[in-house]
Amino acid sequence: MSSGSFRQACCSTVWELRALSESSFDLQSWLQQQGVSAEHARGRLFCKWLAADQLERLQAEAEGLQALIPCADSLVLPRPLALGLARGRALLVLDWLDLAGGDRAGWERLGRGLAQLHRRSLELTPAPGLFGWHDDRWIGAGIQRGGWQRSWGAFFCQQRLADQFQRLEAQGLRWPQSERLLELLPPWLEQHQPEPCLVHGDLWPGNAGVLRDGRPCLYDPAVSYSDREVDLAMARMFGGLPEAFFAAYNDEWPLPAGAEQRLIAYNLFHLLNHANLFGGSYIDQSRRSVEALLRLL
């Protein structure tokens, strides 16, 4: 599936976007009831809505943005302006991002800005030395398990991979190699010994960009304190961000040896999550990724 068709599929199943002027619902009044100024409410805003019972998903997105913003001095992230229930829907209203295609300089700024965000988060962490998050998150329509661990290898294998394997097996899909992988992978990752950085967590090309004025931006996160390489790994998926982004990141904060091999492990989580959500070719891709990892280990 191309990155464009994948993005369209996600948007059509997860949210609907409407310009405020096109909605029959009086969003301006609702926004003012939520504490948004009348002047701001009349501006161009991004409104994201789900069924009312999905409010926690929007709460998680808003919380993730609020966690990232203090670390992102050189990046633009949309501020959560209002969150609540209205007319049977859960609504999250954010700053509007005037996205453009972006030139090389813009993608370089994004790479440097992400490296600076990761480094800055080391100073602001609420749980020094711990990997994870205080509760479960959503990554698209999938679950991303929370909880805290001191061991990165244990956290990634238990709260990321093992959970996804269990979900697939609950659907009747057998993974005979999963136990072997989950046995060998933690000590291999422990040799790396990363610091727990606040990561975007869902950094595929549909969740990052460059604004019309040239500033780089991020949005729609699935945050956790993890190895910073997980963001760089996912940024290679679904078409990938431009190479200028990766080069600038590495200039700002070079990646340690072995990052290309760890990328296979980190992106296995996303392949498994998509296998759970969409099935099809993602199941075969996941199996091939497991086999590639076992050859490495």
For residues 278 and 245, is the Cβ–Cβ distance under 8 A?
no
CA dist., res. 52 & res. 45, Å (int): 20
CA dist., res. 279 & res. 229, Å (int): 26
Active site includes 202? yes
Per-residue tokens: 41 = 């409410």
**Backbone φ/ψ region at 87: left (φ over 0), alpha (ψ -120 to 50), beta:** left
For residues 272 and 288, is the Cβ–Cβ distance under 8 A?
no
Which residue shows structure tokens 């100024």? Answer: 37
Which residue shows structure tokens 């813009």? Answer: 106
Which residue is catalytic, options 202, 220, 227, 231? 202
User: Residue 173, SS3?
Assistant: coil
Sheet holding 89-95, edge to edge: 45-51, 89-95, 80-86
CA dist., res. 214 & res. 222, Å (int): 25
CA dist., res. 261 & res. 255, Å (int): 12
Sheet holding 208-211, edge to edge: 99-100, 208-211, 216-218
What does the CA dihedral 161, 166, 172, 173 come to, rounded to 10 degrees?
20
**Backbone φ/ψ region at 190: left (φ over 0), alpha (ψ -120 to 50), beta:** alpha
Per-residue tokens: 42 = 């009349």
Residues marked active site are found at: 202
